[in-house]
Amino acid sequence: QVQLVESGGGLVQAGGSLRLSCAASGDTASSDTMGWFRQAPGKEREFVARIAWSGSTTYYADSVKGRFFISRDNAKNTVYLKMNSLKPEDTAVYYCAVRPYLHTSYKYWGQGTQVTVSS
């Protein structure tokens, strides 16, 4: 079992920045892929970004490329999402997730943290 706890959400004006953190505990491994997803009211959950165990391979949704940046600290079992140039359409609950090594889907999810961007 893996437990994930997100933090860092809040209210910010359009154009502002936030940094989200996700601390993992339990049966974690540095070889796992970690990712961020978000879900806005009335919409399905969507992929935002992911990062491989080495931290050198990252991938972003087109909607956040150039604005959001994912990183991880394996010693702390923590993944971060730096969000810049925030837009009202970025408003959502943001979830941290883990895809265990050799798995094809994300298995563990955090409780989410609310990000609200005002126009």
pLDDT the model gives residue 68: 98
pLDDT the model gives residue 56: 79
pLDDT the model gives residue 10: 98
pLDDT the model gives residue 101: 87
pLDDT the model gives residue 23: 95
pLDDT in tens, 55-75: 779 999 999 999 999 999 988
Low-confidence ranges of the chain (pLDDT < 50): none
User: For residues 82 and 67, what is the distance between their CA atoms, to the nearest angstrom?
Assistant: 8
Please, which contacts does 42-46 make with residues 24 or more away whose CB atoms are closer than 8 Å? 43/92, 45/95
pLDDT the model gives residue 106: 95
